Amino acid sequence: MVTKKHELAGIKMKGAEIILQVLADEGVKVIFGYSGGAILPTYDAIFRWNRTHKEHPIQLIVPANEQGAGFMASGYARASGEVGVLLVTSGPGATNATTPIRDAMADSIPLVMISGQVARSAVGTDAFQEAPVFNLMSSCAKHVFLVEEPEKLEEIVRTAFYIARTGRPGPVVIDIPKDVQNYEGIFKGKGMLPLHGYQNRMQNINNNEITEDEAKEFFTLLKASKRPLLYVGGGIISSNSTHILREFARTFRIPIVTTVMGIGAIDTHDLLCLHMLGMHGTAYANYAVMDCDLLIAVGTRFDDRVAGLASEFAPNAKILHIDIDAAEIGKVKPVVWSHVGDAGKALKSLLQYGKNLTLKHEAWIKHVLHLKKEYPLAYDHNAQKIQPAEVIEKLNDIVKGDAIFTTGVGQHQMFAAQYLHIKHPRTFITSGSMGTMGFGLPSAIGAQLAKPDKIIIDIDGDGSLRMNIGEMETCTNYNIPVKILLLNNHGDGMVVQWQTLYFEGRFSGSDKSLHKKDFVKSAEADGFKFSKRVAHREELHKTLEEFINFDKGPAFLEVVVDKKALVFPMVGPGMGYKDMVTGPFIKAREIPKVEEEPQEPSDAFAEAF
């Protein structure tokens, strides 16, 4: 195969110009970042690039701080599936970005962070705004480069994108001394670093087809099962294979539970969807996990918020596991069958092998539909104050699943995960593993830039919004039409919930009654043309409609909600699903009853197919 020579190969460029050219070659359209002395040559290169490439500019979004830049890049990546890029300066610029880098690593999100560094001659001297970025980020990122040889800069930047997007995606950091950015060298137009070990692993994963014997063993286990369940995580979304998952589930009549990162893998209104499992999963999802006899884990890991007390998780089930990361296989729960590889590719192979099989799980389907009917999500419909769940239900009535949602972290995040109608992958964006407050607003900005034709709604809490409230001005600076829906319970709701349940109501550090912020005036001060507050139920639906329909820039709506509303169900820390607390409004069952004999499909199930 003959590779076409890059049209600029052989041209002399400065290091900063090489960086920009590789970014353009990698398809980068937006950079999020904050400037500073050690990264100024690259910021100057952006200015010059956009002046000479008006037909293909690279948009620069400057946030209030570098954490915001990182979460914007993450929101962009999560919504688009492309690599998000952030550009920060040395010292505090880089350290401020540590949290979003670790957040992206925990949720397997592809980012490339480029940070300026003091000149090579000053490294290690405690120079002004020097920080040990390589050491700091090595424990937070998928890979870190410190560019010590300017001749390798081009290959390093190109390799960073390759590492970020291949295998299990993740963030890659490139620390570039200022003198390397000013270095002059020849642009080659091709080449990556020789990462033989990593490339061999990627090749092995890509070539790791499910063999006929493995497929036969898989279907032997599936045919022997009377109560199979698919347990799906963000890996199926990362592999852009949710359509294959949906076909697989329908073909073999297998219900699905998802992690918070897997929300959107299947339409939440699909009868086969039991929604989210785990600490705040639906009661019927958790009951299905307790009842299943075969658990097929796809693109997911058995973390503590899902597995709880691991020894009691899926107690009656044999476990099959498909994941691109071999380290996750058997890490928490032993498995009887596994495959290391791309989730979508694996399911497609199994579909092909089993295309002539007819599997009947009708009694099980009838049972899980009964669980959905008997143990639905519920809250206090007679409460005097507005309930967080009812806000989201009314939002569903208006939006009907045709939006991209981001969230902060806390009770509002769990209410959103439980109650939102999500139709498509990459439309529910949240900080899953790290649980990073302040994520919602900047990630919404990134998602809006990735998907400018979509409605982007940040469902946030007052505690989370405060964390990165400076990014409200970023919305108006660039006229980014995100919609911020603040569920204000005047406190750190999830912390309050734990203190209520486990600390005898001692609200240490979580009582926010002293806070005087008027969020509506803050939004107005930042230039929002729509900024309203709702405190009474009779105003809610109409104002929500006005909020959603506002099309003249970003919009802000604060809804004052009941601070005593708790998120249920809840599986307490270190507890098993049998200890799940369903709260005062969700029915709890006493003894699981699973019908063993095949029956005719229920009417509801028949309608689904």
Domains and CATH numbers, the chain: 12-205 (3.40.50.970), 220-373+588-608 (3.40.50.1220), 388-560 (3.40.50.970)
What is the residue-averaged pLDDT of the chain?
Answer: 94
Residue 514: predicted pLDDT: 76
Residue 2: predicted pLDDT: 57
Residue 515: predicted pLDDT: 78
Residue 608: predicted pLDDT: 42
Contact 540, 553 (CB under 8 A): no
Tokens of 123: 């490294």
The long-range contacts involving 221-225, CB below 8 angstroms and separated by at least 24 positions, are 221/294, 221/318, 221/320, 221/336, 221/337, 222/252, 222/294, 222/296, 222/354, 222/359, 223/357, 223/359, 225/293, 225/294, 225/318, 225/361
- H or E segment and range at residue 275: strand 273-276
Residue 599: predicted pLDDT: 45
Q: For residue 432, which of 524, 565, 301 has the smallest C-alpha distance?
A: 301
- Per-residue three-class SS string for 29-88: CEEEECCCHHHHHHHHHHHHHHHHCCCCCCEEECCCCHHHHHHHHHHHHHHHCCCEEEEE
pLDDT > 90? residue 210 = yes
Residue 359: predicted pLDDT: 87
| Residue 191 DSSP one-character state | -
**DSSP SS3 for 264:** coil
Residue 595: predicted pLDDT: 54
> What's the mean pLDDT in 67-79?
98
Residue 330: predicted pLDDT: 94
596 has catalytic annotation:
no
Q: For residue 106, which of 343, 286, 305 has the smallest C-alpha distance?
A: 305
> What's the mean pLDDT in 259-278?
97
pLDDT grade, residue 594 (50/70/90)?
Answer: low
> What's the mean pLDDT in 198-213?
93
Residue 216: predicted pLDDT: 96
> What's the mean pLDDT in 490-499?
92
128/118 Cα distance (integer angstroms): 8
Which of 14, 21, 32, 66 is an active site residue?
Answer: 66
List C-alpha distances in Å: 167 to 163, 232, 324, 454.
8, 18, 6, 29
Residue 513: predicted pLDDT: 75
> What's the mean pLDDT in 284-304?
97
pLDDT > 90? residue 391 = yes
66 has catalytic annotation:
yes
Region of poorest pLDDT, from 296-310, 464-478, 516-530, 588-602: 588-602
pLDDT > 80? residue 348 = yes
pLDDT > 70? residue 591 = no
Which of 128, 149, 517, 546 is an active site residue?
Answer: 128
> What's the mean pLDDT in 511-538?
93
Which of 72, 276, 437, 494 is an active site residue?
Answer: 494
The runs of H, that is alpha helices, within 117-152 are: 133-138
pLDDT > 50? residue 259 = yes
586/119 Cα distance (integer angstroms): 61
Which of 14, 17, 142, 178 is an active site residue?
Answer: 178
Q: What are phi and psi of 4, to 5 degrees?
A: -65, 135
Q: Longest C-alpha distance within the chain, in Å?
A: 76
Which of 129, 223, 385, 454 is an active site residue?
Answer: 129
Residue 601: predicted pLDDT: 41
178 has catalytic annotation:
yes
The residue type of 135 is N
> What's the mean pLDDT in 252-270?
97
Q: Give first-to-last CA distance, the chain, whole Å.
A: 46
Residues above pLDDT 70, as percent of the chain = 96
pLDDT > 90? residue 129 = yes
> What's the mean pLDDT in 90-118?
98
pLDDT > 90? residue 537 = yes
> What's the mean pLDDT in 222-227?
96
pLDDT > 70? residue 68 = yes
Residue 607: predicted pLDDT: 43
